C-alpha cells in the first residue's frame, strides 16, 4: 500500500517522523557501541575448520547425507545468510570458514555434529559435588519445563512454575503442584500412579555416599549404573562428539559438566523437528523456546511427554541429547499433542536463542571429526576496503555533480536526499551488524554502491514529472509538485518492487558472497522507498513554497529558458 499523500500528512510532520527514525537508529548504535560494522572473511580473516565424516562400516558416506549435513551446518553458522560465513564440500569433507572468529569460538560453533535424541531421564546426580548438594526429590523452580505452545490444543495444558533463572545446579525439578520430600500427595499420584520401589543395584565405592540413593532405579541396566558411577564429566572427558545408540540406555553429562544423567532409549529423533525459535510469552513476558515437530515426531513426542508427566522425579524430565551431551532436561507439564511445544524456565534472550539454534540446527545425519583447524588472515584487507569505499565515494560525487549541472536547484534536493540515504544506510548496517550478525564484506559494499544509482533514479523520475507538468503551462509549481508525485510514485514503486523481488530471489537461491550482495541490494531498495516518501517528496513540497523555485529563478532548474517554456507558461509559473 502506498504511503499517504501530502493532503493527508503535512510535509513538516513527515520530515519530523523521518528525523525520529534516524535518531532512534543513532541512539541504538551509541547504546550498543556499534559505530563500526563487523567485517567479513575477506576483510577481517577468521578460522577455517575441516570436518571429515566417520561411518560405522568405514565406507564412504552417502552423497545425500553429505549434502544434508552441508545444508544444516550452513544454517547453523550462517542462519541469516548475511554473516559471510562459508560452508562448502571438498570431496567427502566439509570446509567451514567463519569470519572474525578465533580458533576456540569456531570449534565451539561447528563441533556439535551428532544426531539429536529426546530421551526420558531415569536418574540424575551431581557430577562432582559434596553429598550435601546431591539431588533430592524436592521441588525447585530452576529446571525448564515443557508445555503445549500457545497455539496448540488446550488438552493437557499446564502452566510452568519455572520462574527463576536457569542454573547449572543439577537438582531434580518437579512439576508445579507436585509433592515435596515430606511425602505429600503428588499430582501424579492423583492419576493413580504410585512410585515403583527401588531395585537392588551395585553399591557405591566404599567411603562414598551413593549418588543414586533414594532414586527409583527400576529397569536400569546394571552396566549402565556402573558407568554412571564412574563417568568423568570434566571438560576433556565429557563425551563431546559421542555417537550414542538410540536403541540403548545411555549415561551422559550435562553440557556444562555439572550433572550426569541416566537416559532411556531414544523416543524421538532430532530429525523430527520442523522448526525451533525463541520468543516471549504474551501473558508472563518470559523468554521461552517454541518447538514444532513433524507428524511422526508429534505422535512420538505426545507419547513421551505423557509418559514423563505420569512419572515420579526425575523421570518426569526429558533429556535432549546432542553430540553425546545433555543440552537441557525440562520437566513435562502434561501430554502435548499436535507437536507444538513450549519450553520455559527463566530463560534470558541469549539462552533461549542458543537453545533454539541447537534444537533447530543440531540434527546431522553423520558423525564428523575435525581433521584440521586453521586460522586465516584476510584476503583483501584494509587497502581493498579503502579502495571500495573510495570507489563508492567517487561514484556518489559524480552523481551529485550531474544532479547539480543538470537540475541546479532541484539537484540540491537530490543531493540532500542522497545524503539522508547514506546516513540511513550506514545506521542500518551498523544496527544489523550488532544484532543479526551482518558482516561487511566486499560483495556487500558492491551491493550498496550499485544501489546509489537506484536511489538517484527515483529522484530523477520525480523531477522529470514536475518539469513535464510545468511545461504544459496549466499548473502552478505547488500544483505540479502534487500531480507529478501521484504519477511518479507509481513508477518508483514498480521499479523498486522489481529490484526488490530480484534481490529476494537471488538471496534465497544463492549462498555466501552472492547472498550478501543480494541482501545489500534489497536493503538499499527499501531505504530508497523510505527516503523518497519521507524526505524527497515533503522537502519538494516545502521548496515549492519558496520564491526561488516558484518564480523560476535561473539557478532553480525550473527557469523558462532551460525548460523551453513560452512566455505565457512563464507567466503562469510567476503567478504561483
In order along its 576 residues, the chain shows pLDDT tens digits of 444 444 445 888 999 999 999 999 999 999 988 888 888 777 777 888 888 888 767 788 888 778 877 877 777 677 665 667 788 888 888 888 888 766 666 666 665 555 678 999 999 999 864 443 434 333 333 457 777 766 543 333 332 323 233 333 332 232 222 222 223 333 333 333 333 434 444 455 544 577 888 898 999 999 999 889 888 887 666 655 456 788 899 999 988 888 999 999 999 988 788 888 889 988 888 999 998 999 999 999 999 999 999 899 999 999 988 777 888 899 998 899 988 988 887 788 888 887 887 777 665 667 777 888 887 777 666 677 777 778 778 888 888 898 888 888 888 999 999 899 989 999 998 998 888 778 777 777 777 777 777 778 888 899 988 888 887 666 788 888 988 999 899 999 999 999 899 989 988 887 667 777 888 888 989 999 999 999 999 999 999 888 888 887 888 888 766 666 544 444 444 444
Residue 574 sits at φ, ψ, to 5 deg, of -70, -25
Q: 46-110: what CATH class?
A: alpha beta
- What stretch of H or E contains 263? strand 259-269
| CATH topology for the 11-40+379-574 domain | Multidrug efflux transporter AcrB transmembrane fold (1.20.1640)
111 CB-side CA count, 13 A: 14
pTM for the full predicted model:
0.56
**Which pLDDT belongs to residue 361?**
66
Q: Are 319 and 143 in contact (CB under 8 A)?
A: no
- Residue (of 273, 267, 264) closest to 314 by Cα position: 264
pLDDT confidence of residue 575 = 46
Per-residue model confidence (pLDDT) at position 386: 78
Show me where the domains of the chain are located: 11-40+379-574, 46-110, 117-363
At 346 the pLDDT is 76
d(CA 489, CA 533): 8
Residues 152/281, Cβ–Cβ less than 8 Å? no
Residue from 213, 200, 196 nearest 125 by CA: 213
- Give the span between the Cα atoms of 439 and 290, in whole angstroms: 28
Would 11-40+379-574 and 46-110 be classified into the same CATH topology?
A: no
pLDDT tens track for 318-331: 998 877 788 889 99
**pLDDT at site 23:** 95
Amino acid at each position: 500500500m502506498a504511503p499517504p499523500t501530502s493532503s493527508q500528512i503535512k510535509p513538516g510532520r513527515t520530515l519530523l517522523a523521518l528525523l525520529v527514525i534516524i535518531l532512534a537508529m543513532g541512539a541504538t548504535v551509541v547504546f550498543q557501541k556499534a559505530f563500526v560494522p563487523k567485517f567479513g572473511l575477506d576483510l577481517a580473516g577468521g578460522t577455517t575448520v575441516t570436518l571429515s565424516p566417520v561411518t560405522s562400516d568405514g565406507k564412504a558416506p552417502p552423497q545425500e547425507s553429505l549434502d544434508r549435513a552441508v545444508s544444516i551446518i550452513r544454517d547453523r553458522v550462517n542462519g541469516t545468510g548475511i554473516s559471510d560465513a562459508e560452508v562448502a564440500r571438498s570431496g567427502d569433507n566439509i570446509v567451514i570458514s567463519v569470519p572474525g572468529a578465533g580458533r576456540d569460538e569456531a570449534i565451539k560453533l561447528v563441533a556439535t555434529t551428532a544426531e539429536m535424541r529426546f530421551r526420558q531421564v531415569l536418574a540424575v546426580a551431581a557430577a562432582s559435588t559434596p553429598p550435601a548438594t546431591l539431588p533430592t526429590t524436592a521441588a525447585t523452580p530452576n529446571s525448564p519445563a515443557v508445555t503445549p505452545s500457545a497455539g496448540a490444543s488446550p488438552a493437557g495444558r499446564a502452566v510452568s512454575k519455572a520462574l527463576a533463572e536457569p542454573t547449572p545446579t543439577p537438582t531434580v525439578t518437579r512439576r508445579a503442584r507436585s509433592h515435596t520430600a515430606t511425602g505429600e500427595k503428588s499430582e501424579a499420584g492423583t492419576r493413580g500412579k504410585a512410585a515403583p520401589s527401588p531395585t537392588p543395584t551395585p553399591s557405591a565405592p566404599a567411603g562414598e555416599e551413593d549418588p543414586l540413593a533414594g532414586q527409583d532405579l527400576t529397569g536400569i541396566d546394571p552396566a549402565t549404573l556402573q558407568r554412571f558411577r564412574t563417568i568423568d564429566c570434566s571438560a576433556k572427558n565429557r563425551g563431546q562428539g559421542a555417537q550414542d545408540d538410540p536403541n540403548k540406555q545411555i549415561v551422559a553429562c550435562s553440557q556444562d559438566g555439572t550433572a550426569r544423567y541416566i537416559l532411556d532409549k531414544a523416543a524421538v529423533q532430532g530429525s523430527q523437528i520442523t522448526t525451533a525459535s525463541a520468543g516471549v510469552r504474551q501473558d508472563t513476558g518470559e523468554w521461552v523456546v517454541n518447538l514444532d515437530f513433524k507428524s511422526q515426531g508429534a505422535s512420538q513426542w505426545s507419547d513421551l511427554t505423557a509418559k514423563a508427566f505420569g512419572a515420579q522425579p526425575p523421570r518426569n524430565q526429558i533429556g535432549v541429547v546432542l553430540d553425546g551431551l545433555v543440552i537441557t532436561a525440562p520437566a513435562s507439564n502434561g501430554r502435548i499433542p499436535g507437536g507444538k511445544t513450549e519450553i520455559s524456565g527463566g530463560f534470558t534472550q541469549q539462552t533461549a536463542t542458543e537453545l533454539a539454534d541447537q534444537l533447530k540446527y543440531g540434527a546431522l545425519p553423520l558423525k564428523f571429526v575435525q581433521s584440521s583447524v586453521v586460522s586465516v588472515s584476510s584476503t583483501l584487507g584494509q587497502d581493498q576496503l579503502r579502495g571500495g569505499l573510495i570507489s563508492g565515494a567517487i561514484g556518489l560525487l559524480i552523481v551529485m555533480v550531474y544532479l547539480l549541472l543538470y537540475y541546479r536547484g532541484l539537484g540540491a534536493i537530490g543531493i540532500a536526499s542522497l545524503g539522508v540515504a547514506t546516513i540511513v544506510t550506514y545506521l542500518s548496517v551498523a544496527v544489523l551488524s550488532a544484532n543479526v550478525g551482518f558482516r561487511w564484506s566486499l560483495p556487500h559494499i558492491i551491493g550498496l554502491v550499485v544501489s546509489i544509482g537506484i536511489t538517484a533514479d527515483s529522484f530523477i523520475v520525480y523531477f522529470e514529472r514536475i518539469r513535464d507538468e510545468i511545461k504544459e503551462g496549466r499548473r502552478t509549481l505547488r500544483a505540479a509538485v502534487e500531480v507529478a508525485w501521484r504519477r511518479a510514485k507509481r513508477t518508483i514503486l514498480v521499479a523498486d518492487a522489481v529490484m526488490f523481488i530480484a534481490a529476494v530471489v537471488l538471496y534465497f537461491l544463492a549462498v555466501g558472497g552472492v547472498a550478501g550482495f543480494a541482501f545489500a541490494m534489497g536493503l538499499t531498495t527499501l531505504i530508497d522507498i523510505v527516503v523518497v516518501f519521507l524526505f524527497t517528496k515533503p522537502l519538494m513540497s516545502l521548496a515549492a513554497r519558496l520564491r526561488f523555485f516558484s518564480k523560476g529563478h535561473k539557478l532553480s532548474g525550473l527557469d523558462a529558458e532551460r525548460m523551453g517554456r513560452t512566455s505565457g507558461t512563464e507567466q503562469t509559473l510567476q503567478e504561483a
